[in-house]
């Protein structure tokens, strides 16, 4: 990965922005600022593709070039960030969304996109059927990104729990994925925020970070609960053909802080509604490294009629083939579509 930016604080070594950086008063932050007006977790510096963002999660606010940040702000080279009595600077060279080509590092050949369909009900005799389609890419020898994980656990007759995310390192990948699976099984009866807390403790032990989303579909109540750790919130296609997304809450990555807290959101689901969870890299892929453009393209693909799971998966497949020709995405589930029968 090419590092385009560094975070500069006078008197300290520059920090390469090659992952999400936490700035705050906490000793667990990546950049610790000793000022009582700075929150323990004050803001996050988030690289995405060739772009850079600041997310303000503080009580006292953050300024970028003298202007107050409302939740998030795009950052550029030479921007000045003010937190309490400290001023930080972004050092680097700006690149346009397509300057390095659309994810040119991926070496997986085109044409490997498949849809894995699970037509079984989650539990034999369950009063509610669940339809599930995973859009996947077959693993290829030499693939550069094998950091993604996706899991689905059926909980008796009550619920189905989904987890999807991306590890920040390939070190001991198989061992860590196995431990995450076991941790998710142990947390399957918890709400998603508590489940992410269990996964967080697993990654803290390994000193590895990950973005992730955990969703719990309660079958009889027809209710979806989910929590995010620096991951995109779900797309929900209503029976009208319109797409809803619950606003994303600022959150830390898994493995970033031992005492991190996550927040559960929930909404009711009706028949003919479909939920789509996307991997962390998918918006950048279909947006040619422009995350906002990619999210809008995904929204447009999800929207419309029919609203069935298979129809939505088919539209997403078309989108992926349009924007991933010759540079197919990483070898993992890039989207999970599910809904109630």
Q: What is the pLDDT of residue 192?
A: 92
Q: Are 67 and 288 in contact (CB under 8 A)?
A: no
Q: What is the pLDDT of residue 78?
A: 92
Q: What is the pLDDT of residue 144?
A: 34
Number of Cβ atoms within 10 Å of the Cβ of 93: 9
What does the alpha-carbon distance between residue 179 and residue 188 come to, in Å, rounded to a whole number? 14
Q: What is the pLDDT of residue 148?
A: 66
Which residues of the chain fall below pLDDT 70?
1-3, 48-50, 71, 94-130, 133-148, 150, 154-157, 170, 324-334, 341
- Encode the chain in three state secondary structure: CCCCEEEECCCCCCEECCCCEEEECCCCCCEECCCCCCCCCCEEEEEECCEEEEEECCCCCCEECCEECCCEEEECCCCEEEECCEEEEEEECCCCCCCCCCCCCCCCCCCCEEEEEECCCCCCCCCCCEEEEEEEECCCCCCCCCCEEEEEEEECCCEEEEEEEEECCCCCHHHHHHHHHHHHHHCCCCCHHHHHHHHHHHHHHHCCCEEEEEEEEECCCCEEEEEEECCCCCEEECCCCCEECCCCCCCCCECCCCCCCCCEEEEECCCCCEEEEECCCHHHHHCCCCHHHHHHHHHHHHCCCCCCHHHHHHHHHHHHHHHCCCCCCCCCCCEEEEEEC
Q: What is the pLDDT of residue 302?
A: 94
Q: What is the pLDDT of residue 104?
A: 26
**What is the side-by-side order of every strand in the sheet holding 63-64?**
15-16, 5-8, 86-92, 80-83, 63-64, 67-68
Q: What is the pLDDT of residue 341?
A: 63
What does the alpha-carbon distance between residue 234 and residue 244 come to, in Å, rounded to a whole number? 9
């Amino acid at each position: 990965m090419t590092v385009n930016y560094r975070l500069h604080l006078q008197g300290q070594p520059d920090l390469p922005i090659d992952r999400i950086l936490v700035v705050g008063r906490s000793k667990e932050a990546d950049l610790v600022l000793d000022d009582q007006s700075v929150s323990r977790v004050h803001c996050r510096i988030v690289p995405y593709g060739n772009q850079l963002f600041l997310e303000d999660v503080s009580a006292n606010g953050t300024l970028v070039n003298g202007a107050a940040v409302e939740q998030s702000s795009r950052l550029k080279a030479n921007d000045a960030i003010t937190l309490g009595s400290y001023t930080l600077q972004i050092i680097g060279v700006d690149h346009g969304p397509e300057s390095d080509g659309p994810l040119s590092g991926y070496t997986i050949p085109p044409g490997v996109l498949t849809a894995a369909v699970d037509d079984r009900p989650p539990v034999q005799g369950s009063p509610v059927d669940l339809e599930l389609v995973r859009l996947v890419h077959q693993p290829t020898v030499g693939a550069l990104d094998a950091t993604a994980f996706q899991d689905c656990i059926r909980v008796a007759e009550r619920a189905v729990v989904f987890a999807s995310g991306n590890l920040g390192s390939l070190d001991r990948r198989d061992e860590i994925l196995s431990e995450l699976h076991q941790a998710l099984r142990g947390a399957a009866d918890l709400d998603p925020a508590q489940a992410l807390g269990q996964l967080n403790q697993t990654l803290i032990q390994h000193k590895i970070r990950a973005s992730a989303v955990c969703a719990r579909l309660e079958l009889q109540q027809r209710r979806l609960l989910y929590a995010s750790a620096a991951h995109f919130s779900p797309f929900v296609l209503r029976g009208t053909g319109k797409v809803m997304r619950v606003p994303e809450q600022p959150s830390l990555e898994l493995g970033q802080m031992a005492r991190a807290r996550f927040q559960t959101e929930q909404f009711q689901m009706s028949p003919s509604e479909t939920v789509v969870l996307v991997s962390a890299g998918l918006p950048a892929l279909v947006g040619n490294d422009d995350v906002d453009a990619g999210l809008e393209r995904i929204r447009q693909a999800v929207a419309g009629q029919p609203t069935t799971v298979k129809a939505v998966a088919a539209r997403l497949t078309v989108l992926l083939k349009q924007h991933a020709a010759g540079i197919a995405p990483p070898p993992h589930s890039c989207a999970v579509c599910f809904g109630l029968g």
